[in-house]
Amino acid sequence: MGLRSTVLALALAGWGAGVGPAMALSGCDAFTNALKTGASDMGAEFSRAIVVSRTRSDANVYDISTRADVDGTLSCRGDEFIRFEARVSEPANARTTTNFERFQSAALKAALGWDPGKSRGVLKGLAGDAREYLSASRQRGDVYVAGKTEEHVPGGVTLGMMATNSDRTFVIVGPAGE
């Protein structure tokens, strides 16, 4: 019985060692560089945002603009990733919608290292849910007509998608942004 227990313990220890740590979110400098590279054909540009607020914050906020009708915001604390948002106005034509989807995929690759296939699957689910919730909100006659959904991924990261009559927004929130 002792040999079987030892073999089982070694097998479980080996299996556990193969399981990697929670997915790490890239730092802001790495994210910025990777997003510029991943969305280079869209001309992604980062500029320091002017934030007017009554509360004190040590976050650095950057506006992101593109030549593809997609804009965004990146918030960092030093090199720590806090929050990323990508936005597109509605109604959007097919080209703008495609660019928005490509920009979201580039952001997921830059932030989490996801391949395009994984990104497309998750984004398709989020977008479908947000559209469905937006439709339900319209049908109910809500005062604020919107659809919102989120998904939690390893490492304390939250992905979100919001849809309204005037825009769509994709969000990546790091553990420090919760």
* 178 residues of the chain, pLDDT tens digit each: 444 443 333 333 433 333 334 457 889 999 999 999 999 999 998 888 776 666 667 788 999 999 999 999 999 999 999 999 999 999 999 999 999 999 999 999 999 999 999 999 999 999 999 999 999 999 998 888 899 999 999 989 999 999 999 999 999 999 987 6
pLDDT at 54: 62
Residue type, 30: A
DSSP letter (8 states) at residue 43: T
Domain residues for 47?
Answer: 25-177
pLDDT at 6: 37
pLDDT at 49: 74
Assess if residue 34 is contained within a domain. Answer: yes
The CA distance from 55 to 21, in Å, is: 35
| Cα 40 to Cα 43, 86, 102, 108, distances in angstroms | 5, 15, 11, 15
Say which residues have a Cβ less than 8 Å from residue 52's Cβ, sequence separation at least 6: none
The CA distance from 59 to 83, in Å, is: 10
The CA distance from 144 to 119, in Å, is: 29
pLDDT at 149: 92
pLDDT at 48: 82
Strand partners, 87: 71, 169
Assess if residue 14 is contained within a domain. Answer: no
Assess if residue 11 is contained within a domain. Answer: no
Note the pTM of the prediction, 2 decimals.
Answer: 0.82
Assess if residue 53 is contained within a domain. Answer: yes
Q: How many helices (H) and strands (E) does the chain have?
A: 4, 7
The CA distance from 155 to 54, in Å, is: 31
Number of structural domains found in the chain: 1
Assess if residue 157 is contained within a domain. Answer: yes
Assess if residue 7 is contained within a domain. Answer: no
Can you list the positions of beta strands (E) in the chain?
45-48, 60-65, 71-77, 80-89, 146-153, 157-164, 167-173
Assess if residue 44 is contained within a domain. Answer: yes
Assess if residue 168 is contained within a domain. Answer: yes
pLDDT at 5: 42
